[in-house]
A and B are shown apart, each in its own frame.
Chain A
């Protein structure tokens, strides 16, 4: 197996990373941005490496992003969409993982609705590096690395900056990973949600908690809007209506202006226009949303390179 870079055997979550590892991944991603804008978008870095994207949950941007990242670095990339219900009836998650690992890929990129899927599989798979592309409400490390790269290019050093995350914190792996990264990288996170959308003891992350969005605006450098799962809101009684949600927690121009000229807008996608974010805000000059998507490819190139792009022994 290739020697991993930055001391990374797997990429499970931000919780396992050091400041240096995060910095190295972000910087490596920064170096890769250039390839993506060339006319010939190909480098030989991962020639001879095999990457399998194993997605048990629907995903357009993350899966495509990993696929393009692997292909631009000359890896052989295979995409598998497995539905959780199909595996429940037939093959187990463990069997699927072991079967694919037996085909000797270098990296398995996994998205699954069960938190801890990568940690669980890693106990049984010896020679395959695992990347967590989102596990339940647990972690989504490459999204956070993507955001950090975007912020680095947009506003330089993030240390001391304040990111305000708005929405369904309780079920958000992105929010959790950011709250962990904030501690490691030295930025502040404010979270904004009603109590129905906050997980237990969220204050232990060391974040400021707001129920009133307007109170959180002053002093915010980045407004980070989370996708609202509309079905979750109403059936689980987390919120009475989309209308009231948009009114209370939606980002509109008025709120964006109140946050100040310097404030940027982010969203991990996919957006619900008119729910958590107004269309004019999403399309405004303050929005970094498409940069996030673009930099997502570079970060996934960095993650794949870190796990299987090192020197081989042969």
Chain B
């Protein structure tokens, strides 16, 4: 007998180009069918008026375990993920110790399996200890489960090392994800360099810090015929460069974080440390360019750069505060604004959080194809709720959206055919 029937929802499955009101049913933890269900089910979820889509993938997450569990651990991060409809998270390697050898890859994967709420697919370090000098054993990291490589948090700044990283990784088809930031331009900065940084009297991070490194990397990618992915793209110049590289046929891709298409540097005008991240919130012109990049497909992926911090690291004045904000629990409602504004169809929007990252990372998740693991997100795209940072599942309280109304709410999250999140509650 069918285990779970999800009835009468608007099913959005970009992998199969499905956008229609129908049923989804689950057997033995797998998707058994999408269409008109005719039979008996042990459990029925009435999804009338709701959207049913593959569990979301967030390919840019910092979970702080091992090493800084007071900020976040794999358990709290997993809970935050499924509360946000996300069933696959790719964790960045800047933990302590960092994910630069197979043992740590296996450790974090196994820890996530013990918790059992979502898939954790680690991103391995490009360089040992994230030092930017020697390459990691990418082959072994990949065999252990790393799905891409990045030194995120830090750029791979050395042009020679970056060249070798692109050449080596692409010999085996791996993806290099770059935190593009020329530190010699941005060091000491807290916010975007511009009128806002001038008014605040805090040092700025010029947009050229991001743009110049991407320009260099695209040249190196061209030479190596490599696969290069820009993390958290935030500037107009960066989007234009990625667009041109794609038109040329290079394997250059990009992701945007919700804060970079939803907010601008004006958020920090009151010295708000919860709006401080790297790259920083930029100008309205940049924000609109990121949206245009999402619209025309230049930016294929939405990813959060979920970066939980302890309050103590944020409550010390803007220029001393740590970089980063949490994002797992706000990715979907903030992203839905793009659909409401007519920028993207629901199908294209969901693709940026399911099939597109799955394709880049070469992982099976992100579709409702028959036989696929039944990782499913069911949400009400119109439900309004007010974000209370004290009620986040993440340990991080660092969100610029505290007190603001969100439109779009996850009702159910299923992982391997099991309901792991239901109407505000985690099911263990």
Q: How many B residues have CB within 8 A of the partner chain? A: 21
Find A201's partner among B194, B202, B316, B317 (CB 8 Å cutoff). B194
Find B200's partner among A94, A115, A201 (CB 8 Å cutoff). A115
Least distance between A18 CB and chain B CB atoms (Å): 18
Least distance between A165 CB and chain B CB atoms (Å): 15
Q: Does B70 contact A (CB under 8 A)?
A: no
Asked if A135 and B198 make an inter-chain contact with CB atoms under 8 angstroms apart, the answer reads no
Asked if B201 and A135 make an inter-chain contact with CB atoms under 8 angstroms apart, the answer reads yes
Find B316's partner among A15, A93, A136, A173 (CB 8 Å cutoff). A93
A-chain residues with CB within 8 Å of residue B317 when the two chains form the complex: 93, 112, 114-117, 120
Find A200's partner among B198, B271, B316 (CB 8 Å cutoff). B198
Per-position 1/0 for A126-146, Cβ under 8 A of B: 000000000111110000000
A-chain residues with CB within 8 Å of residue B318 when the two chains form the complex: 114-116, 120
A-chain residues with CB within 8 Å of residue B270 when the two chains form the complex: 119
Q: How far is the CA of A120 from the CA of B197 in the complex (A)?
A: 16
Asked if B271 and A115 make an inter-chain contact with CB atoms under 8 angstroms apart, the answer reads yes
Q: How far is the CA of A112 from the CA of B202 in the complex (A)?
A: 13
Which residue, of A93, A114, A117, has the highest number of chain B Cβ atoms within 10 A? Answer: A114
Asked if B202 and A200 make an inter-chain contact with CB atoms under 8 angstroms apart, the answer reads no
Q: Does B320 contact A (CB under 8 A)?
A: yes
B-chain residues with CB within 8 Å of residue A116 when the two chains form the complex: 200, 202, 271, 317-318
Q: Which residue of A lies closest to B206 (CB)?
A: A200
Q: Does B248 contact A (CB under 8 A)?
A: no
* A138 in contact with B200 given A114-B319, A120-B318 (CB within 8 Å): yes
Q: Does A204 contact B (CB under 8 A)?
A: yes
Q: How far is the CA of A199 from the CA of B206 in the complex (A)?
A: 11
Asked if B201 and A173 make an inter-chain contact with CB atoms under 8 angstroms apart, the answer reads yes
A-chain residues with CB within 8 Å of residue B193 when the two chains form the complex: 200
Q: Does A176 contact B (CB under 8 A)?
A: yes
Least distance between B316 CB and chain A CB atoms (Å): 6
Q: Which residue of A lies closest to B203 (CB)?
A: A137
B-chain residues with CB within 8 Å of residue A199 when the two chains form the complex: 197-198, 204
B-chain residues with CB within 8 Å of residue A200 when the two chains form the complex: 193-195, 197-198, 204, 206
Asked if B319 and A94 make an inter-chain contact with CB atoms under 8 angstroms apart, the answer reads no
B residues 196-226 in Cβ contact with A at 8 Å: 197-204, 206
A-chain residues with CB within 8 Å of residue B206 when the two chains form the complex: 200
A-chain residues with CB within 8 Å of residue B315 when the two chains form the complex: 92, 94, 120
Per-position 1/0 for A170-192, Cβ under 8 A of B: 00010010000000000000000
Q: How far is the CA of A173 from the CA of B198 in the complex (A)?
A: 10
Least distance between B271 CB and chain A CB atoms (Å): 3
A-chain residues with CB within 8 Å of residue B195 when the two chains form the complex: 200-201, 204
* A136 in contact with B312 given A115-B319, A116-B318 (CB within 8 Å): no
Q: How far is the CA of A137 from the CA of B202 in the complex (A)?
A: 6
Q: How far is the CA of A114 from the CA of B198 in the complex (A)?
A: 14
B-chain residues with CB within 8 Å of residue A176 when the two chains form the complex: 198-199, 201
B-chain residues with CB within 8 Å of residue A137 when the two chains form the complex: 201-203
Find A94's partner among B197, B271, B316 (CB 8 Å cutoff). B316
Q: How far is the CA of A92 from the CA of B312 in the complex (A)?
A: 9
Q: Which residue of B lies closest to A116 (CB)?
A: B271
Q: Does A202 contact B (CB under 8 A)?
A: yes
B residues 93-132 in Cβ contact with A at 8 Å: none
B residues 304-363 in Cβ contact with A at 8 Å: 312, 315-320
Least distance between B29 CB and chain A CB atoms (Å): 48
Q: Which residue of A lies closest to B271 (CB)?
A: A116
Asked if A201 and B198 make an inter-chain contact with CB atoms under 8 angstroms apart, the answer reads yes
Least distance between B66 CB and chain A CB atoms (Å): 25
* A115 in contact with B201 given A200-B195, A201-B194 (CB within 8 Å): yes
Asked if B202 and A136 make an inter-chain contact with CB atoms under 8 angstroms apart, the answer reads yes
Least distance between A188 CB and chain B CB atoms (Å): 19
Q: How far is the CA of A116 from the CA of B312 in the complex (A)?
A: 17
Least distance between B310 CB and chain A CB atoms (Å): 12
Asked if B312 and A204 make an inter-chain contact with CB atoms under 8 angstroms apart, the answer reads no
Which residue, of A137, A176, A204, has the highest number of chain B Cβ atoms within 10 A? Answer: A137
Q: How far is the CA of A172 from the CA of B199 in the complex (A)?
A: 11
A-chain residues with CB within 8 Å of residue B199 when the two chains form the complex: 15, 176
Per-position 1/0 for A106-129, Cβ under 8 A of B: 000000101111011000000000
B-chain residues with CB within 8 Å of residue A114 when the two chains form the complex: 316-320
Q: How far is the CA of A202 from the CA of B201 in the complex (A)?
A: 11
Least distance between A227 CB and chain B CB atoms (Å): 16
Q: How far is the CA of A261 from the CA of B319 in the complex (A)?
A: 44
Asked if B271 and A120 make an inter-chain contact with CB atoms under 8 angstroms apart, the answer reads yes
Least distance between A110 CB and chain B CB atoms (Å): 11
Q: How far is the CA of A115 from the CA of B199 in the complex (A)?
A: 10
Q: How far is the CA of A202 from the CA of B199 in the complex (A)?
A: 9
Least distance between A203 CB and chain B CB atoms (Å): 9
A-chain residues with CB within 8 Å of residue B202 when the two chains form the complex: 115-116, 136-138
Q: How far is the CA of A202 from the CA of B194 in the complex (A)?
A: 9
Q: How far is the CA of A137 from the CA of B319 in the complex (A)?
A: 11
Least distance between B207 CB and chain A CB atoms (Å): 10
Least distance between A119 CB and chain B CB atoms (Å): 5
A-B contact pairs, 29 of them (CB 8 A): A15-B199, A92-B316, A93-B317, A93-B320, A94-B315, A94-B316, A114-B316, A114-B317, A114-B319, A115-B200, A115-B201, A115-B271, A115-B319, A116-B317, A119-B271, A137-B203, A138-B201, A173-B201, A176-B198, A176-B201, A199-B197, A199-B198, A200-B195, A200-B197, A200-B198, A200-B204, A200-B206, A201-B194, A204-B198
Task: List the interface of chain A (C-beta within 8 A of B).
Answer: 15, 92-94, 112, 114-117, 119-120, 135-139, 173, 176, 199-202, 204
Cβ-closest 10 pairs across A and B: A138-B201, A116-B271, A137-B201, A114-B317, A201-B195, A199-B198, A115-B201, A115-B202, A200-B193, A200-B194
**What would 12 more interface pairs be, CB under 8 Å, given A114-B318, A201-B194?**
A92-B315, A92-B316, A93-B317, A93-B320, A114-B320, A115-B317, A116-B202, A116-B317, A116-B318, A119-B270, A138-B202, A204-B195
